[in-house]
């Protein structure tokens, strides 16, 4: 039994050709693709596969924590008036984002390969979890995005 089959069985998910194809497509990608990109790619092998199935399947995978949603994405755009060096904590329950500072982190040198090859214009540590108010009342919002837990 392959790994994907095992994962589905562990979570009571049926093993469908569509699911296997979505999983394989994402696993083989280094692009951090969108549902739409995966859908377009799979249309070659599954001419009738729907975008909804692809999106729903990806979200299912994120909920059972076999893949992740890239942080923040898929949510309405939010703005930040604070231009000082700071970092973000995202509460998965109430969607609050609060700022924090971390002088140690600001000092931390970045990997040499990146500083050598790329131009860096911004740096932010993104923590996810449950804030002080919400830690007792988890899953109020059944977060899909930017979630480790579900």
Partner DNA sequence: TTGACAAATAGGTATTAATCCTATTTAATA
Partner DNA sequence: TATTAAATAGGATTAATACCTATTTGTCAA
Residue 14: contacted member of DNA, its own copies, none (CB under 5 to 8 Å, by partner type): DNA
Token look-up 């911004």 returns 122
φ and ψ of 58, to 5 deg: -65, -40
**Cβ-Cβ contacts under 8 Å for 50 (sequence gap 6 or more):** 39
Binding residue (CB under 8 A) for its own copies from 108, 139, 140, 141: 108
Q: Between 9 and 114, name the residue whose CB sits nearer to its own copies.
A: 114
- Residue number, 20 or 75, with CB nearest to its own copies: 75
Shortest Å, Cβ 50 to its own copies = 17
Q: Say how far apart CA 112 and CA 46 lie, in whole Å.
A: 43
Under the criterion CB under 7 A, does residue 7 sit at the interface with DNA?
Answer: no
- Interface with DNA (CB under 7 A), residue from 50, 115, 139, 142: 50
Nearer to its own copies, 53 or 145 (CB): 145
Cα 134 from chain centre: 21
Tokens read off for 63? 């909920």
């Amino acid at each position: 039994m392959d790994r994907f089959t095992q994962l589905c069985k562990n979570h009571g998910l049926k093993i469908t050709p569509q699911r296997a194809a979505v999983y394989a497509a994402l696993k083989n990608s280094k692009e951090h693709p969108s549902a739409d990109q995966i859908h377009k790619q799979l249309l070659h092998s599954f001419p009738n596969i729907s975008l909804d199935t692809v999106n729903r399947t990806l979200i299912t995978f994120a909920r059972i924590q076999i893949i992740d949603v890239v942080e923040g994405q898929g949510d309405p755009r939010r703005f930040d008036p604070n231009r000082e060096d700071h970092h973000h904590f995202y509460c998965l329950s109430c969607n609050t984002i609060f700022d924090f500072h971390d002088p140690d982190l600001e000092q931390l040198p970045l990997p040499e390969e990146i500083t050598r090859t790329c131009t860096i214009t911004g740096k932010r540590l993104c923590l996810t979890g449950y804030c002080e108010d919400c830690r007792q009342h988890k899953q109020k919002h059944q977060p899909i995005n930017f979630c480790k837990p579900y």
